[in-house]
Amino acid sequence: MPAIPTPDELLAAAHVVTLPMRVRFRGVTEREAVLLSGPAGWAEWAPFPEYADADAARWLAAAVELGWGDVPPPVRPDVGVNATVPAVAAAEVEGVLARFDGCRTAKVKVAEPGQSLADDVARVVEVRRLMGPGARVRVDANGAWTVTEAVTALTALDRSDLEYAEQPCASVEELAALRVALARAGVDVPVAADESIRRAEDPLRVARENAADLVVVKVAPLGGVARALEVVEACGLPAVVSSALDTSVGLAAGVRLAAALPTLEHDCGLGTAALLAADVVADPLLPQAGRLTVDRADAARDAVDPARLAAYRSGAERETWWRDRLSRAAARLRD
């Protein structure tokens, strides 16, 4: 961990932006983020507004690592990327997939509030139809189901041959119980833990309690690339690197994490710049032939456009809110 900048240094380096989304995702139609210009390059700090200051401080540790320090070196030059399909109607799936060049894996959001299992099934069926039998299709419920609901839903959704289900239930206990229940029901869908890793005080509990087959890790929520690598090593499970609706700057950090993992068996959720209608760079970090290279990621981080920072600068009220939050997170991190 590099020396932590003072709150005044961070505030002087901060640019608060509001970027429009192409479609609603996680309930978000605009993505707010703080871009930080550090001596080692640009970094991003964008904990979701509902997150507590303790979470925000971990996200800030990741930004400080990138903008004021260094990240572990890569062991591979590029990483595979999945398409991300929000909880859209089946008729809109084709348009979404068209924005993910060459991707042969898709992550499909399910269990959206106000939607039904039939909506989820239709969306996943359409993804499978469009991508063909050789593609990999995974679903993400963001912890919305009970164990019973998850068994019912995954039984139906696995007719489209799922690669795995990401955070089908909210708690570690439920994930562990679900794995047993799926086995008893003869439903062969691996379980991946996301929120149970990135939002947990003890991210290793998932592995200790046999609650997942693999883990989803994100740079910012875990406090940086180096810390995320430590978590993956301690868990001892296959890892998938994903984003948190990052700009291309945050996605670049995700690419560096995925490229530094000792082994990488799955495509990663790092193509989400396609969900943004605007970015802070002129050439967003989008997959090409289903992959992202370390060189392109590093170049994107160096290419933050001052004109775009100005064009998408947040309004005065939101800028004040974010700057106050940054001061609190910096103080907490230094403590």
Q: Give the number of residues written for the chain.
A: 335
DSSP H or E run through 250 = helix 248-260
Show binding-site residues for Mg(2+): 140, 166, 194
Count of other CB atoms within 10 angstroms of residue 279? 24
C-alpha to C-alpha distance for 57 and 321, rounded to whole angstroms: 15
Residue closest to 97 by CA, chosen among 251, 274, 240: 274
Instruction: Enumerate residues 6+ apart whose C-beta is below 8 A from 216.
Output: 166, 167, 192, 193, 194, 197, 198, 239, 240, 241, 242, 269
Which of 31, 107, 198, 218 is labelled catalytic? 218
**Active-site residue 218, yes or no?**
yes
DSSP-derived 3-state class of residue 84: strand
Helix axes 53-68, 316-334, angle to 10 degrees: 80
In this structure, what token pair is assigned to residue 300? 């994107």
* Contacts with 133 (C-beta within 8 Å, 6 or more apart), sequence order: 161
Between the alpha carbon of residue 302 and those of residues 37, 38, 128, 170, the distances in Å are 10, 11, 37, 37
Q: For residue 10, what are its two tokens?
A: 């961070």
- Kindly name the residue from 58, 107, 109, 325 that is annotated as catalytic: 109
**Cα–Cα distances in angstroms (integers) from residue 72 to residues 34, 75, 138, in the given order:** 23, 9, 29
Assess whether 109 carries a catalytic annotation: yes
Rounded Cα–Cα distance for residues 58 and 55 (Å): 5
Question: What are the residues facing 31 on neighbouring strands?
Answer: 19
Give catalytic residues, as residue numbers. 109, 218
